[in-house]
């Protein structure tokens, strides 16, 4: 199949809103998202780009290919000590193409929240309804910003990516990610939040993975800071970081950002985020972008009991893991910090070894233990090569 070729492309070769997250169409659509879904730009500062030097490879091309062969990898960038030691692109993607991050977008929100809190623009202990009083009749009543950051809000919602009906489909339609049927009136992301009135447990309890909670936090951030989410991400993270290219984020019918999954950036800029984590939130020239104390909190303050009793505890029972401020953490003396999303999106930071892996894919399955295992294998082999 030759996707999106011809003037116009043949109907069977077109990536559309109806098929863009399925194979084979996702191989094109995941790095052309703004041609399918409306978006808002996250501007960079072209005159202030954080340059990345080249370094010596840690593994042979053959070893990398052996790991990647079973995957649908679109891009891979590996940094060691801030230098690019491996970089490749597939499926027509180039170094210039922003690729969707899926749930790694949540991790980007977690960094922005820490920056804004440090600047006094966001109160983490405030209640959600302190910022959004109209949500008082919903299950969010009594939940705090901190609990939402840690996915410990007791709202009833099933994150079932295989569902063909129900709340998750209404959610995708609200986000502008699914086709709205003729005669159907779809909500936007804000009005969708008003529908979440049922509770499934106490706030502050177990880890409960609910993507709409992250979109809610983007709304809270906009209310708190009085500006659009995309502009806040640009001003407080993307430009100060020295991003090489502008990113963008998908938006709903009224401009609300899909902070839970819609951020799109180039692979090198995702790697720069990982390098910031390795460097305590500072650029190579010493400019502080993310508060060091925020990253220390991410690395050390996750709740093990909340994790083990939560939604992913059994699935990842072989790993010592916690969750804090939208980041997964392997805690200990040398914490490993990573963000991961469906269809194979991943960023990994190992501050003790100064190692970063940014991996973008278009895996056919939304969640795949096989793909997770291959990512983990690559990291283990890279670490062993140091």
What pLDDT score does 204 carry?
98
Residues with a known catalytic role? 103
What pLDDT score does 1 carry?
62
pLDDT along the chain (386 residues), means of 10: 88 95 96 98 98 97 94 96 98 97 98 98 98 98 98 95 88 96 91 96 97 98 98 98 98 97 98 98 96 98 96 85 97 93 95 97 81 87 95
pTM beyond cutoff 0.95: yes
What pLDDT score does 206 carry?
97
* Reduced 3-state DSSP string for the chain: CCCCCECCECHHHCCCCCCCCCCCCHHHHCCCHHHCCCEEEECCCCCCCCCCCECCCCCCHHHHHHHHCCCCEEEEEEEECCEEEEEEECCCCCCCCCEECCCHHHHHHHHHHHHHHHCCCCCCCCEHHHHCHHHCCCCCCCCEHHHHHCCCCCECCCCCCCCCCCHHHHHHHHCCCCCCCCCCCCCCHHHHHCCCCCECCCCCCCCCCCHHHHHHHHHHHHHHHCCCHHHHHHHHHHHHHCCCCCEEEEECCCCCECCCCCEEECHHHHHHHHHHHHCCCECCCCCECCCHHHHHHHHHCCCHHHHHCCCCCCCCCCCCCEEECCEEEECCCCCEEEEEECCCEEEEEECCCCEEEEEEECCCCCCCHHHHHHHHHHHHHHHHCC
What pLDDT score does 313 carry?
86
């Amino acid at each position: 199949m030759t996707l999106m070729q011809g003037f116009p492309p043949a109907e069977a070769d077109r990536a559309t809103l109806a098929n863009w997250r399925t194979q084979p169409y996702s191989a094109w659509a995941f790095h052309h998202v703004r041609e399918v879904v409306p978006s808002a730009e996250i501007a960079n500062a072209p005159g202030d780009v954080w340059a990345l030097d080249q370094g010596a490879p840690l593994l042979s091309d053959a070893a990398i290919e052996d790991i990647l062969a079973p995957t649908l990898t679109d891009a891979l960038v590996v940094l060691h000590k801030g230098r690019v030691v491996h970089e490749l692109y597939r499926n027509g993607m180039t170094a210039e193409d922003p690729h969707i991050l899926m749930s790694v977008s949540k991790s980007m929100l977690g960094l922005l929240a820490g920056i804004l809190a440090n600047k006094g623009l966001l109160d983490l202990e405030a209640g959600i309804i302190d910022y959004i009083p109209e949500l008082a009749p919903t299950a969010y009543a009594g939940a705090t910003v901190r609990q939402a950051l840690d996915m410990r809000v007791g709202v009833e919602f099933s994150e079932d990516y295989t569902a063909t009906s129900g709340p998750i489909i209404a959610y995708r339609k609200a986000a502008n990610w699914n086709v709205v049927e003729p005669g159907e009136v779809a909500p936007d992301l804000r009005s969708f939040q008003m529908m979440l009135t049922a509770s499934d447990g106490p706030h502050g309890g177990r880890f409960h993975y609910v993507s709409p909670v992250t979109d809610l936090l983007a709304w809270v951030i906009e209310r708190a800071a009085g500006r659009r989410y995309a502009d806040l991400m640009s001003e407080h993270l993307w430009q100060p970081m020295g991003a090489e290219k502008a990113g963008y984020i998908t938006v709903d019918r009224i401009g609300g950002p899909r902070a839970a999954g819609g951020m799109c950036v180039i692979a090198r800029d995702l790697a720069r985020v990982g390098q910031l984590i390795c460097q305590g939130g500072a650029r190579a020239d010493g400019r502080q972008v993310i508060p060091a104390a925020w990253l220390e909190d991410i690395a050390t303050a996750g709740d093990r009991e909340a994790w083990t009793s939560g939604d992913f505890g059994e699935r990842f029972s072989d790993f010592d893991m916690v969750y804090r401020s939208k980041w997964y953490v392997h805690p200990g003396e040398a914490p490993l910090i990573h963000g991961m999303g469906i269809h194979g999106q991943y960023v990994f930071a190992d501050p003790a070894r100064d190692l970063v892996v940014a991996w973008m894919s278009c895996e056919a399955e939304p969640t795949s233990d096989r793909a997770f295992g291959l990512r983990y294998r690559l990291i283990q082999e890279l670490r062993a090569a140091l």
